[in-house]
């Protein structure tokens, strides 16, 4: 029987623009995915347009990379700038800045997780109301009875309000969301009043109740009805976390969620050496000479068409290996979740992590001093470099900055979705999502709902993952090429 090809283009209910092509064949009597290609179809970006600008603009500009993880980019940029400018020390200003950064960043995690589970992923599993966003859709592979559908549909509607509340909570200190001006080089732009604290607390307690009583149990219910998805979508089994939520002004390793790595060959947590990271471009629409450089030296030169290339995403690798990043990686590295690696483990770990963060936010809020300024002034350095290493909701995030003549000389962003949804690397090794699809049973090649469930478990954001345009080069138009092998 010939190999069948299914193409999901565009993948809906994600952020940004993604196409996934799979080849399906029958192996040992089971129709399943035998090959997969994840294709970032949009070319755009920020790194090159930052060049030549005032370094302090990086927090405001990089926040606009994405509307669903803007605080993560603003924080990464602020950390990179502070590393370059030498903002350090155990001061009341830095304590207030750290706590408000954590609180607004935490609000962003909650908003992102509720969006992902209820709005973006749930429609793969339930038949909801006969209206958008449930229609149009593939009405296949449903397993819920009427009561369960009603329960989930009700929670979907509640989640709309909870999401809005999470954004309003973040705006108490962030001023506005998604693109808060709160994160700046040297600190944070708010000073908390007692009223701010009680306003924030009101939102937070409601969200904790919703996550504890609704969101976490809903992921468990889904796992009980779809137990096969506790083994589907594993991938390589390599997990990487940079760590996030600083708990100390002076000890960078004191994080709510720790930095570390777990590999397929063992459960012991290993250290992370940022110098072991390279971005590879053999299958990406970038000049071949740009590949295999560490992010601090990386460049971004688009080339399209390019023989063999099929994505605008680069392929980040750690010591040449593809790693999954995100809530499951963080919770596994942190020792909070050790149930496995699969579609439903990603959902269950994400829900539990979000509740853990919300409970920590309660303590950060209690510790936030009223009336305390949160800014430490430093001059922009003439020449310096720095890295801002943290985590966005979807996983490990790094900004690498070089300042020359008091301007941004080089800027490089490596996002979580670049790790998870990367194409093949120089050695031909598939990216984590691509590998997670191999062996996945597909009942109906015309409606490959199983593939969609695996894709959504990673919560891809292609806005974050694609790269850059040159402000001085004018508009450039590219025709997308075919896949390797001419599919
Ligand atoms: Ni656009 Fe982002 C997150 C970052 S994704 S959502 O989370 O950085 O890859
Ligand atoms: Mg980049």
pLDDT-derived band at 48 (thresholds 50, 70, 90) equals confident
Residue 467 scores a pLDDT above 80: no
pLDDT recorded at residue 128: 78
- Element containing residue 84 per DSSP (H, E): helix 70-85
Residue 105 Cα distances to 100, 179, 390, angstroms? 8, 12, 11
Q: Who contacts 298 (Cβ-Cβ below 8 Å, separation ≥6)?
A: 279, 290, 400, 412
pLDDT-derived band at 484 (thresholds 50, 70, 90) equals very low
pLDDT recorded at residue 429: 98
Distance from the alpha carbon of residue 420 to the mean position of ligand 1, in angstroms: 11
Residue 276 Cα distances to 53, 293, 334, 470, angstroms? 29, 10, 21, 28
pLDDT tens, position by position, 305-326 = 999 999 999 999 999 999 999 9
Q: Give this prediction's pTM.
A: 0.94
CB distance 262 to 271 below 8 Å: no
Distance from the alpha carbon of residue 71 to the mean position of ligand 2, in angstroms: 17
pLDDT recorded at residue 358: 99
Residue 268 scores a pLDDT above 80: yes
Percent of the chain with pLDDT over 70: 95
Domain interval for residue 276 = 4-486
Distance from the alpha carbon of residue 45 to the mean position of ligand 2, in angstroms: 8
Residue 66 scores a pLDDT above 80: yes
Name the DSSP letter for residue 286: B
Beta pairing, strands 266-270 & 277-280? unpaired
The whole-number average pLDDT for the span 410-420 is 95
d(CA 278, CA 92): 37
Atom of ligand 1 nearest to the CA of 465: 9
Q: Say how many domains are in the chain.
A: 1
pLDDT recorded at residue 478: 36
pLDDT tens, position by position, 212-244 = 999 999 999 999 999 999 999 999 999 999 999
pLDDT tens, position by position, 162-201 = 999 999 999 999 999 999 999 999 999 999 999 999 999 9
Atom of ligand 1 nearest to the CA of 393: 7
The whole-number average pLDDT for the span 79-103 is 97
Q: Which ligand is closest to the CA of 277, given by its number?
A: 2
pLDDT recorded at residue 483: 39
Pocket of ligand 1 (CB under 6 A): 15, 66, 68-69, 72, 392-394, 397, 415-417, 461, 463-465
Q: Who contacts 473 (Cβ-Cβ below 8 Å, separation ≥6)?
A: none
CB distance 34 to 54 below 8 Å: no
- For a pocket test of ligand 1, which of 64, 312, 397, 414 has the largest count of ligand atoms closer than 8 A to its C-beta? 397
The whole-number average pLDDT for the span 376-397 is 98
Residue 98 Cα distances to 104, 301, 353, angstroms? 10, 36, 20
| CATH code for the domain of 479 | 1.10.645.10
Atom of ligand 1 nearest to the CA of 413: 8
Q: Which ligand is closest to the CA of 412, given by its number?
A: 2
Residue 44 scores a pLDDT above 80: no
Residue 182 Cα distances to 71, 178, 333, angstroms? 9, 11, 30
Residue 393 scores a pLDDT above 50: yes
pLDDT-derived band at 133 (thresholds 50, 70, 90) equals confident
Closest CA to 454 of 478, 473, 435, 426: 435
DSSP-assigned letters across all residues of 353-419: HHHHHHHHHHHHHHHPPTT---B---PPPSSEEEEEEEEETTEEEEEEEEEETTEEEEEEEE-HHHH
């Amino acid at each position: 029987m010939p190999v069948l090809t299914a193409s999901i283009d565009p993948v809906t209910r994600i952020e940004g623009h993604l196409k996934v092509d799979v080849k399906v064949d029958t192996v040992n009597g089971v129709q399943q995915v035998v090959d997969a290609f994840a294709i970032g179809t949009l070319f755009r970006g920020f790194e090159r347009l930052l060049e030549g600008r005032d370094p302090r603009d990086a927090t405001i500009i990089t926040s606009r990379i994405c509307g669903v993880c803007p605080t993560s980019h603003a924080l990464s940029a602020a950390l990179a700038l502070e590393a370059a400018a030498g903002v350090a020390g155990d001061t009341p200003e830095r304590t207030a800045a750290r706590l408000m950064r954590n609180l607004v960043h935490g609000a962003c995690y909650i908003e992102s997780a509720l969006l992902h589970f209820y709005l973006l992923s749930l429609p793969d599993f339930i038949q909801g109301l006969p209206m958008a966003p449930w229609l149009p859709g593939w009405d296949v592979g449903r397993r819920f009875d009427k009561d369960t559908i009603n329960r989930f549909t009700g929670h979907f509607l509640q989640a709309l309000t909870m999401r809005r509340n999470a954004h309003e909570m973040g705006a108490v200190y962030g001023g506005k969301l998604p693109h808060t001006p709160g994160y700046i080089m040297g600190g944070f732009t708010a000073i908390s009043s007692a009223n701010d604290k009680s306003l924030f607390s009101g939102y937070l307690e409601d969200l904790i109740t919703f996550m504890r009583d609704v969101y976490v149990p809903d992921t468990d219910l889904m796992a009980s009805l779809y137990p096969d998805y506790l083994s589907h979508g594993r991938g390589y089994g390599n997990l990487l976390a940079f760590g996030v939520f600083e708990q100390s002004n002076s000890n960078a390793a004191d994080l709510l969620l720790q930095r570390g790595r777990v590999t397929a060959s063992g459960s012991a947590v290993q250290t992370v050496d940022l110098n072991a990271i390279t971005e590879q471009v053999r299958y990406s629409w970038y000049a071949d000479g740009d590949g295999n450089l560490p992010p601090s030296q990386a460049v971004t030169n688009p080339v399209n068409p390019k023989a063999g290339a099929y994505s605008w995403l680069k392929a980040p690798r750690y010591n040449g290996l593809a790693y999954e990043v995100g809530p499951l990686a963080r919770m596994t590295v942190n020792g909070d979740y050790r149930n496995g690696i699969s579609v439903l483990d990603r959902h269950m770990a994400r829900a539990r992590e979000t509740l853990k963060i919300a409970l920590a936010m309660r303590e950060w809020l209690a510790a936030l001093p009223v009336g305390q300024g949160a800014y430490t002034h430093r001059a922009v350095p003439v020449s310096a470099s720095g890295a801002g290493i943290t985590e966005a909701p979807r996983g490990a995030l790094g900004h690498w900055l070089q300042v020359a003549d008091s301007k941004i000389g080089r800027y490089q962003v490596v996002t979580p979705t670049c790790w998870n949804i990367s194409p093949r690397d120089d050695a031909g090794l598939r990216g984590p999502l691509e590998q997670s699809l191999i062996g996945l049973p597909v009942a109906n090649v015309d409606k490959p709902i199983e593939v969609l469930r695996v894709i959504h478990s990673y919560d891809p954001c292609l806005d974050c993952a694609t790269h850059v345009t040159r402000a001085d080069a004018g508009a450039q138009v590219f025709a997308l090429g075919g896949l390797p092998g001419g599919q």
